Structure 1
């Protein structure tokens, strides 16, 4: 979030971000007011405009920053060498851990896309597609080397991400499964899918699904 001249400093900015995340997570974008946000931080509402121009800019910046952090962390975590299976395992482990560690950011990134104005939404959708392409590249590599037997790697990408990202809806830190356990379970499921250990992964989809996949590209 770019500071505007006259702002009171980075600590206030960070406090605004933390409070805004909690309010968005609890109440949603439509119900959250800037008056609430200012009260949570302990500043005058007018002081918020030292950091952003309106509520839409605040939401967009939160989601864009989350996506930038996600990309940077993934790039640092991915293997540069190794088999496609090893790279896919690293991707799954990263994605699961990141989503468990940042439930508020992840939830808002998915649930509040509908609240973004068209130009802002276009930016975020492009960033999401770049993330999808990184997983798709691993699946393409595995199909080229014969490690994976996916009939359609684009559909495989979407299916894997939908399964993994759903963790933000049900995972609880005090639940029966640790992060390591969830990573291991999901890794096994994703590798089984990619390797074609089941008819659905090996066979080409029927015609209606083939047309749907083409529209998703």
Structure 2
């Protein structure tokens, strides 16, 4: 049974994470101060240290949490899906759908890598490589089976991820196309492109 004080502390910590994410998105890591963060959650600046060690630690927590959530959700989306074509289709569907609804997290994850200290940055890069490897393995399996035309596994992996992740820079919920239509277009681009336009 959790004590009330502990429960309140957990809620405060979550409020700090949410406010920190929003402020970093709006102002950038360098532009956000701990005073800004404390004010956003109604705390005295010194009280923040009851919940976060440093501003850098907060950024690392936000980015690593995003990468772990992303990878766990991908693994769930791929569970039970057999065959490289079906798995590639599931990957594209998942990646685009996930990123369409998490613009703030994705922006901070990508734009603030430069703000991470070397050890923290390497830890995040390892998580990113693990995610990328899931797509690379699907492409390699499809190429080996003769189902996909993949001229270079790493370059194709990075190219696909750049294309799919790019939706966060231009998609607007009030725009001309609904989310499922955006997903369907990307599925056709990737699957038809790697199968030579059809098949």
Aligned to 1:27: 27
* C-alpha RMSD of matched pairs (Å): 1.6
Aligned to 2:151: 151
TM-superposed deviation, 1:81: 3.7
Aligned to 2:113: 113
TM-superposed deviation, 1:192: 2.1
TM-score normalised according to structure 2 size:
0.93
Aligned to 2:52: 52
TM-score normalised according to structure 1 size:
0.85
TM-superposed deviation, 1:196: 3.2
Cα distance in 2 for residues equivalent to 1:197 and 1:157: 18
* Runs of 4+ in structure 1 over 4 Å off: none
Aligned to 1:18: 18
Cα distance in 2 for residues equivalent to 1:81 and 1:106: 26
TM-superposed deviation, 1:83: 2.4
Matches within 5 A, 1:1-217: 9-197=9-197
Cα distance in 2 for residues equivalent to 1:196 and 1:150: 10
TM-superposed deviation, 1:79: 4.1
Cα distance in 1 for residues equivalent to 2:189 and 2:51: 44
Cα distance in 1 for residues equivalent to 2:87 and 2:66: 23
Aligned length: 193
TM-superposed deviation, 1:80: 3.1
Q: Which is worse superposed, 187-196 or 115-124?
A: 187-196
TM-superposed deviation, 1:197: 3.4
- On the 8 A contact 1:7/1:51 being kept in 2, the answer is no
TM-superposed deviation, 1:187: 0.4
Cα distance in 1 for residues equivalent to 2:77 and 2:150: 24
